[in-house]
Amino acid sequence: MPSTRRREAFTLIELLVVIAIIAVLIGLLLPAVQKVRGAAARIQCQNNLKQVGLAFHNYENANGTFHSSKNRRKYAADAKATQLGWAAFLLPYIEQGNLRLSLNLQSGWNNDPTNTPLGATPIKVLTCPAVSPQVRVGVYNNGAGNSLAYFDYTAVQQVDPALGAAGLAEATTEPQVYGVLTNINRPLEGTPGPYPNGLYERRVTEITDGTSNTLLIAEVAARPQKYAGRAKKPVGTPDTDPATGGAWLRPNVSDIPTFLGTQYDGSAGPGPCAINCSNNQNVFSLHTGGANILFCDGSVKFVNENVPIRTFAAIITFAGGEVLGDY
Tell which wins on pLDDT, 139 or 197.
Answer: 139
The conformation of residue 212, written as its DSSP 8-state character, comes to G
pLDDT of 7? 58
Query: What is the pLDDT of the chain when averaged over all its residues?
Result: 86
What is the spatial distance between Cα 259 and Cα 230, in angstroms, rounded to a whole number?
18
Burial bucket for residue 114 (CB in 10 Å: 0-12, 13-18, 19+): exposed
Q: 290-295 and 215-219: which strand pairing?
A: antiparallel
Separation CA 156–CA 303 (nearest Å)? 15
Percent over 70 (pLDDT), the chain: 86
The predicted model gives 306-318 an average pLDDT of 95
Are residues 275 and 263 in contact, defined by beta-carbon separation less than 8 angstroms?
A: no
Rounded Cα distance between 253 and 241, Å, is 16
Q: How far apart are CA 261 and CA 266, in angstroms?
A: 9
pLDDT of residue 78 exceeding 60: no
pLDDT above 60: residue 157 = yes
Task: State CA 227 to chain mean position distance.
Answer: 14
Tally Cβ neighbours within 10 Å of residue 234: 12
Q: What is the pLDDT of residue 42?
A: 95
Amino acid letter, 286:
L
| Cβ atoms 56, 67 nearer than 8 A | yes
Residue 9's pLDDT is 65
**The Cα angle at residue 9 between residues 3 and 10, in degrees rounded to 5:** 140
- Decide if pLDDT at 45 tops 50: yes
**Cα pseudo-dihedral 74, 76, 80, 85, rounded to 10:** 30
Residue 175, preceding bond cis, omega within 30 degrees? yes
Q: State mean pLDDT over 72-93.
A: 73
pLDDT digits (tens, 9 = 90+) for 87-125: 999 999 999 999 999 998 878 898 889 999 999 999 999
Q: What tens digit of pLDDT does each residue of 16-30 get?
A: 888 888 888 888 777
What backbone torsions phi and psi does residue 58 show, to the nearest 5 degrees? -65, -40
What confidence tens digit (pLDDT) does each residue in 50-63 have?
999 999 999 999 98
Q: For the residues 259-270, what does the mean pLDDT come to?
A: 94
Residue-level length of the chain: 327
| Mean pLDDT to the nearest integer, 153-167 | 93
Between 171 and 236, the higher pLDDT residue: 236
Q: What is the pLDDT of residue 323?
A: 85
Per cent of the chain over pLDDT 90 is 57
Query: For 161-211, what is each residue's pLDDT tens digit?
Result: 999 999 999 878 877 888 998 865 444 344 444 444 445 678 899 899 999
Name which of 262, 258, 228, 231 is nearest 243 in CA terms: 228
| 274 vs 201, residue with greater confidence | 274
Q: Using CA atoms in the order 137, 140, 143, 144, what is the torsion angle rounded to 10 degrees?
A: 80
pLDDT value for 327 = 80
DSSP annotation of 242: P
C-beta of residue 215 within 8 angstroms of C-beta of residue 180:
yes
Going from N- to C-terminal start, the domains of the chain cover: 12-316
Q: Which residue has the higher pLDDT, 146 or 39?
A: 146
Within 10 A of 264 (CB to CB), how many other CB atoms are there? 14
Q: What is the pLDDT of residues 280-290, one digit of tens each?
A: 999 999 999 99
pLDDT of 49 higher than 90: yes
Collapsed DSSP state (helix, strand, coil) of residue 202: coil
Q: Which pLDDT score, from 0 to 100, does residue 25 have?
A: 81
- From 50, 202, 228, 214, select the one nearest 126 (Cα to Cα): 50
